[in-house]
Chain A
Amino acid sequence: MEPLSIFLLWIAGALLLDTPTDTVVLVEDPDGKVGRVVVSNDAGTQVLDAANTKVTLANRTSAPKPPQVVSAKEIATVFGRALDAAPPPPEHFTLYFETGTSTLTAESQARLREIVTSFDNRRLARATITGHTDTVGNADRNYELALRRADAIKVVLVAAGLKSGSVSTRSHGEVDPVVPTADNVSEPENRRVEVTIW
């Protein structure tokens, strides 16, 4: 086939069919915050930092087009089925301990009921219990300590009604602090167990 006819065929194809396009839309997080997205290819980069804006790309070799506003109607039309299929975002609960113990503070004790309710209200609910420490002491020891805290909370939550087979425990030791600190800093905010219902 002559190169010219190939070109004509390609034009006809592009006119008859919609040109394939990739679209990336930034929307609000469940907590109301709006993140930031960088969409790039070899030909260029665009940044999205406002909710309900999009970047489209016609192919790999032309640069992403500048951000455009997306209407609620377009989102519903194009993404309605995908949005309906999205599982509810996980719920997070943070429990704190009395200093130097594995006893929950009174406030945290009172939150256990909320955790059970969250679990019971969710289809196919699972709980992930993650223990954390501050940076006082050795990192390996803190890993073990955080795991013990998580296991202790699992016992409490299973007694309160969570199905044992749906609960898993993890340790993030001292590496996942709420308040970043230098090593060997006592920080009550970091001595915690996070329970995620998902």
Chain B
Amino acid sequence: MPILIRILLIAALAVPFIVGNSVARAELAENAIGQIKTLVSGASIRRGDGSVDAELGGPVFEGDVLSTDSDGTVGVTFIDGTVLSLGPTSEIQIDAFIFEPQEKNLGFTAKFLSGTATYLSGRIAKLAPDTVNLSTPFSTIGIRGTRLLIKVGD
């Protein structure tokens, strides 16, 4: 098949997808460390001195505290491939996220503060597992490339 026709075909197939997706953001802020990929109302993000509603497709930044209400859930994929999700009435604080392998700067520090969560390690954990610092109120969690479920409190 000629390449032009092939490209047009792919474009035609992609149109419904693009239209369906246009409500959500395609671009991601330059210094975002991750993106909200799943959201069941309501979830919010404490950022600096303020708080914003979590938004599907929206960015996650270093320092953010994500929390869900009694019926909310949220899922985030980070730029290094780390995947996190929260069940209802849950909270996690992303203290540090550093992904600069060329400069040998790597690190992921997060505190599971309450509720339930899932964690799937990404590239940072693969390149420098000792720089991944996960914790709950009663423990610190050291990992070697893995997937975890975490519950804090009842």
Q: Which residues of A does B touch, CB under 8 Å? A: 17-18, 20-30, 33-41, 55, 57-60, 64, 75, 78-87, 89-90, 92, 116, 120, 123-124, 126, 128, 143, 159-161, 163, 165-166, 168, 171-173, 175-176, 196, 198
Contact = CB atoms under 8 A, between A and B. Distances in A.
B88 interface: yes
B144 A36 contact: yes
Interface of B: 7, 10-11, 13-14, 17-18, 21, 24, 26-28, 35, 37-38, 40, 56-57, 73-77, 79, 81, 83-88, 90, 101-102, 104, 115-118, 120-122, 127, 136-154
B57 A86 contact: no
A31 to B, nearest CB: 10
Given A27-B149, A82-B117, A166-B26, 16 more contacts: A22-B136, A26-B147, A28-B147, A35-B121, A39-B141, A40-B142, A41-B138, A57-B138, A79-B118, A81-B88, A82-B73, A82-B115, A82-B149, A85-B118, A87-B75, A89-B81
Given A120-B14, A173-B102, A126 B116 contact: no
B141 to A, nearest CB: 6
Contacts of A17: 154
Nearest to B115: A82
B154 A87 contact: no
B83 A86 contact: yes
18 contacts: A21-B151, A25-B151, A35-B146, A41-B138, A41-B139, A57-B136, A64-B139, A79-B118, A82-B73, A82-B116, A86-B118, A89-B83, A120-B17, A143-B102, A160-B10, A161-B10, A165-B26, A175-B104
Contacts of B87: 79-82, 85
Contact of A18 (B77, B81, B136, B154): B154
B64 to A, nearest CB: 16
Nearest to B8: A161
Contacts, number: 184
Contacts of B86: 82, 85
A57 B115 CA distance: 15
A185 to B, nearest CB: 19
A41 B148 contact: no
Contact of B85 (A55, A83, A124, A163): A83
Contacts of A163: 18, 26
Contacts of A34: 146
B101 A128 contact: no
The 5 closest A-B pairs by CB, nearest first: A35-B146, A82-B87, A85-B73, A87-B37, A38-B142
A21 B154 contact: yes
Nearest to A146: B102
Which interface residue of A34, A64, A161 has the most chain B CB atoms within 10 A?
A161
Contact of B24 (A35, A37, A75, A124): A124
A87 B138 CA distance: 27
